[in-house]
Amino acid sequence: MITNIIYLVSIGLQLLVGLYALSLIRITGRKMAWILISSAMILMAGRRTVLFFYILSAGRQPGMDASELIALAVSCLMMVGVHLIRQYFLSFNENYNKCKQANDALLASEARYRSYTDLTDQIGWIWFTNADGKVVEDIPSLRRFNGQTYEEAKGFGWVKVLHPDDAERTAQVWNKAVATKSFYETEYRMRRHDGVYRDFMARGFPNLREDGSIREWVGTCIDITERKQAEQELRLVMQRLELAARSANLGIWDWDVTNNIMTWDDQMLELYGLTWETFPGGVEAWQNGLHPDDRDKTIEECGAALKGEKEWDTDFRVLHPNGTVRHIKANGMVVRDSQGIPVRMLGTNYDITEQKLREKQERYRSHTMLTTLIDNVPDLAWIKDREGRYILVNEAFYLAFNIPVDVAVGKTDFDALPRELAEKYRSDDEAVMAAGVRRCIEEPVIDAEGQTHTVETIKTPIKDENGAVIGTVGIAHDITKRKRLEDELKELNMTLEQRVVEETNKRLTQEHLLIQQSKMASMGEMIGLIAHQWRQPLNAIGLTVQDIKEAYNYGELNEDYIKNTVDTTMNQVCFMSKTIDDFRDFFKPSKEQVRFDVKSAIEELLLMFAQMFNKSDIDINIETGQDTILVTEGYPNELKQVILNILNNAKDAISSKREVGNELQGRIEINLSNNEQKDKIIVSMRDNGGGIPEHVIEKIFEPYFTTKGTIGTGIGLYMSKTIIETNMGGTLSARNIDGGAEFMISFKVSEPRRKGI
């Protein structure tokens, strides 16, 4: 039995050693050796286990010999050896880990130092000096900034790049710190590599030995240029703020609500008439300075602001100890804690006494101006409050109702007017106030004499600064006469159609007479012109007849003589007949529009009347521009009549000018041209007859207006303008030029007619 136990213990120790050996692989890191040892021990244990169970299965007991005892002893020794090796490596690994942790901590410290150095390199640098304060180690950050080499910066060479005004003071502070072994701090300006000076804050600490001597100096140099600039700007802002507050009489206050501590500036004391000696502190300093009539209301508003019910924006009066009253405008804000409880209140006060005085004066002036204005309005004018009470009435109101102004103020319509009128006026007022817009209303009015008038009343709602309607303004204009005229106008409109017919017939009759006069004048001109043209042929015929008698007396009558006489007489008769046909065609109106050449029409006209103008010693010239289009569509005979009328007027003007003693060669120039677009024909007729008097030139185209006295009809130019502008769609105008007048006719160019296909 003991042998079996020893056998099993030996097998168990071998297995344990094998497994223990495997655990040393992770601890020692030596895989192959421990795997071999573990494999050998496990194989040995397996072999002995198989042998042990084989012997038992054969019905035998394992024998105890020296080899088994040796195997047990070896297993025990192996177990102890493996355990000692494991403990050794565990102790070694622990020391290794401690060293590794220390090394990691050192590396982290170095990394943190490098990070700090990199960070401070952006805003400054860390520096080291020896005990005497000389730079002995290279400071790359410093050299990168000022551009010095190490040789230039070491020792006290770095001082050379300080601002000249700061170098001596910096050296004194540094020498004092070195001498006293005390903390070093100063500010100076240092020149950058590009020549720009920057502000720096330098601080240093002495690193002392155990005996108290200085081992080295360690410090920092931080760029504070932006901070210095910000401080300078802040000082300027504070100065401006102080100047603005002083200029505006602006007082600044701060109230610690929790501890009831009131902080004022000097301007606040001046606003309340106090001094630092008489300033009691606390909110009572403010409350006691309030005017008694405003105190309760203002304190109540302050309480509402603390509760968050409204903003602190108000005005009130303060009473100085000497009795002076000032008006104050107050603004402020409430500071609350996380629970919403007010802990501070701060704001401003400023004096608005002058503003209030101006407002009062302005109200008085406005009231005076309004009273003056309303009293000088001829219409009835008044102002009512929301209840219909009169606030202001003018003099016209008093004259209409015989109610003095001071008596009317405070009264309503029911106190002074018949009830039915008062009810209507009140109803109209309420409608205007409800709508909030101005209305124009017709209302009846009974004056002091009992006469009923109709007035047109403009009623406008009055609104306060918040838009609420507080009354009405009314202006009433008496329209009784206008209403009467409107009635008369209605009656007149009923008979207007009959009057229009009568006037139209009258106008047509006048125009008919005008046309008849024009026709008669044209016929008279035609007869005169025919007589002028016939005078020479008649003379020739008369001479021929007389010559027949003489020929008979002398026996000269023969067939040839009679034939010549007949031919000569018939030529004259034919000429006279053609003259009648020409003038008849000339004065016969065209029945329809035709295309014709303007220049040809004018030349035909001049050929007919050449003798008339030659007799008057007047030269007529026609000029035509190059490439001028002169074909139009209209009434050629009417155009000839217009041209002849204008030429006759020019002839008469030239003759009149000669009658006053001027030796004048008459001249009429006719110019034919187109406008730039080539869509208009322009006929210009200029003369040298002295022109048209300026005071009548605007009237020459009016019917029956003439400058020829009793010999003129006054319808020639009127009919000419009618023909050109109405019948031919053109224009006719006149103006004075140097030495005479110019008439211009303009009408459309006729488009070429396309030939049929």
- Read off the DSSP letter of residue 155: B
Total length of the chain:
757
**Same structural domain for residues 254 and 333?**
yes
Determine the pLDDT at residue 689: 86
Residues 536 and 404 in one domain: no
Please say which residue of 61, 90, 119 terminates a domain: 90
The predicted pLDDT at position 524 comes to 58
* Total tally of structural domains belonging to the chain: 6
- Residue 383 to residue 726: CA distance in whole angstroms: 61
CATH code for the domain of 688: 3.30.565.10
Q: Are residues 622 and 742 in the same domain?
A: yes
Q: What torsion, rounded to 10 degrees, do the Cα atoms 244, 246, 248, 250 define?
A: 100
Question: 91-105, 672-686, 687-701 — which one is most confidently predicted on average?
Answer: 672-686
Q: What is the pLDDT of residues 178-187, one digit of tens each?
A: 888 888 899 9
* Helix intervals (H) in 380-494: 395-401, 405-408, 413-416, 419-435, 480-494
Is there a domain that residue 490 lies in? no
Q: Does the pLDDT at position 8 exceed 80?
A: no
Please tell me the chain's helix, strand, coil percentages from 3-state DSSP, rounded to the nearest 5.
55, 20, 25
Tell me: do 336 and 362 sit in the same domain.
no
In this structure, is residue 120 part of a structural domain? no
Q: Does the pLDDT value for residue 521 go beyond 60?
A: no
User: Do 609 and 560 share a structural domain?
Assistant: no
- Residue 283: which CATH number? 3.30.450.20
Q: Do 423 and 385 share a domain, yes or no?
A: yes
Alpha carbon distances (Å) from 381 to 180, 213, 378: 95, 103, 9
pLDDT value at residue 240: 67
pLDDT of 216 > 70? The answer is: yes
Q: How far apart are CA 103 and CA 98, in angstroms?
A: 8
Confidence of residue 125 (pLDDT cuts 50, 70, 90): confident
Nearest to 733 by CA among 628, 741, 640: 741
Task: State percent of the chain over pLDDT 70.
Answer: 71
Are both 281 and 226 inside the same structural domain?
no
Are residues 290 and 220 part of one domain?
Answer: no
Residue 112 in any domain: the answer is: no
In a domain, 154, yes or no: yes
Higher pLDDT, 741 or 35: 741
DSSP-derived secondary structure letter, 430? H
In a domain, 110, yes or no: no
Q: Is 654 inside a domain boundary?
A: yes
Boundary of a domain, candidates 351, 371, 397:
351
Q: What is the mean pLDDT of residues 133-159?
A: 86
* Per-residue pLDDT, 2: 64
For residues 401-424, give the mean pLDDT: 81
Quick check: 716 pLDDT over 70? yes
Same domain, 204 and 289: no
263-288 pLDDT, tens digit per residue, is 888 888 888 998 888 888 888 889 99
Residue 488 is predicted with a pLDDT of: 79
Structural domain range at position 343: 248-351
Q: Identify the top-confidence range among 354-363, 379-388, 405-414.
A: 379-388
> Domain check: are 268 and 145 in the same one?
no
Rank 232-246, 338-352, 365-379, 435-449 by mean pLDDT and report only the highest.
338-352
| Domain boundary residue, one of 527, 547, 580 | 580
How high is the pLDDT of residue 40?
66
pLDDT in tens, 330-361: 998 999 988 889 999 988 898 888 888 888 77
Top pLDDT among 400 and 712 is at 400
Q: What whole-number percentage of the chain has pLDDT above 90?
A: 13
Identify the pLDDT of residue 279: 86
Helical spans, DSSP H, in 588-623: 598-608, 610-615
Q: Is the pLDDT of residue 121 over 50?
A: no
Burial-class residue 433 by CB neighbours within 10 Å (0-12, 13-18, 19+): buried
Question: Are 712 and 617 in a shared domain?
Answer: yes
Q: How confident is the model at residue 757 (pLDDT cuts 50, 70, 90)?
A: very low
How far are the Cα atoms of 297, 484, 493, 505, 606 from residue 497, in angstroms, in the given order? Answer: 76, 22, 8, 12, 50
Is 103 a member of any domain?
no
Render pLDDT for 555-580 as a digit per residue (tens, 0 to 9): 777 878 788 777 777 776 776 676 66
Residue 115, in any domain of the structure: no
Domain co-membership, 47 together with 184: no
